[in-house]
Amino acid sequence: MTATRPNVAIMNIRSLNKKTKLAIAAGAAVLLAGGVSGAAMAGSADDDATDRPIPSADLEQASEAALAETGGGTVTETEVDDEESAYEVEVTLQDGSHVDVQLDKDFNVLSTESEDAETGEDD
């Protein structure tokens, strides 16, 4: 009966010379550093996963203020305590473009930012 050897593609680390071991360690360090910095950048971006919608108690007032500012449309998204204001209301206009309306805690308009429907770029 002959014993079968495990997969020969597995490398024995003891058989590697010192330069090869250093190169492998340096490569692993570079990959690890890249992964850590990439994760940090992803965590610092404006992430929809952390967005909280405007609570129902305030939603009607926020929607009315945003729609009055845009002259109509449909409220398609809301956010409370975003980086720019107490409330953000996204309104989709009849032409398909979007307007983000920033409101303070008393539902006063602070600013608006529109996005072109065709290009997706801010106006």
The predicted-structure confidence for 63-121, as pLDDT tens digits, reads as follows 999 999 999 999 999 999 988 899 999 999 999 999 999 999 999 999 999 986 555 55
27 with 75, same domain: the answer is: no
66 with 111, same domain: the answer is: yes
62 with 109, same domain: the answer is: yes
Residues 6+ apart with CB under 8 A from 26: none
67 with 103, same domain: the answer is: yes
Residues 6+ apart with CB under 8 A from 13: 21
Q: Count structural domains, the chain.
A: 2
74 with 92, same domain: the answer is: yes
pTM over 0.95: no
Q: Tell me which long-range contacts 83-88 makes (C-beta under 8 A, separation of at least 24).
A: 83/46, 84/110, 84/111, 85/110, 85/111, 87/54, 87/58, 87/62
Please report the pLDDT score of residue 83 as a whole number: 85
Q: Which of 31-35, 47-51, 56-60, 65-69 has the lowest mean pLDDT?
A: 31-35
Q: Residue 31 belongs to what domain range?
A: 13-44
Q: How far apart are CA 93 and CA 72, in angstroms?
A: 7
Please report the pLDDT score of residue 13 as a whole number: 56
Whether 75 maps to a domain, the answer reads yes
